[in-house]
Amino acid sequence: MIHIKKIARHGYFDGSSIAVWYIKCLSTISFLLRIHMSNTKFSVLLRALMVAGLALGAMSAQAVDEAAAKAAFKDSKCTKCHSDDKDKSGPSYKKVAEKYKGQADAEAKLFTHLTTGPTIKVDGEDEVHAKAKGDEASVKNMAQYILSR
Ligand code: HEC
């Protein structure tokens, strides 16, 4: 008791210092909590970003929609002059894929070829190359199909 009184007299144990100590404790705890929370949020965010990145990667590496491409070739009458592996009036898609192998802009080039109607030679005669029907996504899918042969 005497000791406590002494300590109290010395001001170690008076109300105000306890309050200060209490507040310091609380702020330390909340500081630690905040770090923890922000770390949790950060890791959740990181995980979400990683998942999104993986999904994007998977999407870009995703197999072409072959059925849709085949239907589009039919619809645009490409089949009249092209097939997967036999040359008709036009080169086989396999040949086209070989020609563009390893070229980063191959898809863009085919997209242009299929949307701008370039003049080509069909059996020795100048002819405007057929334009692909369908929207951008469909034509891109056609290009990806051809390049994946
Ligand atoms: C009348 C016949 C004919 C039709 C129809 C036709 N093509 Fe072609 N296509 C050709 C010929 C011929 C070439 C070769 C042109 C050249 O090399 O100069 C060619 C070239 C291509 C190429 C290669 C282009 C390159 O840069 O090497 C692709 C890809 C292609 N055609 C896709 C298609 C698609 C898809 C369709 C349908 C929208 C289509 N073609 C319709 C005759 C045709």
The residue with greater pLDDT, 66 or 18, is: 66
DSSP string, 63-82: PP-HHHHHHHHHHTTGGGT-
The residue with greater pLDDT, 88 or 55, is: 88
Ligand 1 binding pocket, CB closer than 6 Å: 73, 76-78, 80-82, 89-91, 96, 99, 109-110, 113-114, 120-122, 129-130, 132, 142, 146
Nearest CA to ligand 1 atom 27: 96
Q: How confident is the model at residue 136 (pLDDT cuts 50, 70, 90)?
A: very high
The residue with greater pLDDT, 58 or 63, is: 63
Work out the average pLDDT over 87-109: 97
- Ligand 1 mutation target, pool 129, 131, 144, most atoms within 8 A of CB: 129
Structure tokens at 120: 């080509």
CA of 91 to the centre of ligand 1 (A): 7
From residue 116, alpha-carbon distances to 60, 82, 135 in Å are 25, 18, 13
Q: What pLDDT was estimated at residue 11?
A: 47
Q: What pLDDT was estimated at residue 21?
A: 53
Distance, CA of 144 to CA of 106 (rounded, Å): 9
Q: What pLDDT was estimated at residue 58?
A: 57
Q: What pLDDT was estimated at residue 59?
A: 55
CA of 135 to the centre of ligand 1 (A): 18
Work out the average pLDDT over 128-133: 98
66-92 per-position pLDDT tens digit: 999 999 999 999 999 999 999 999 999
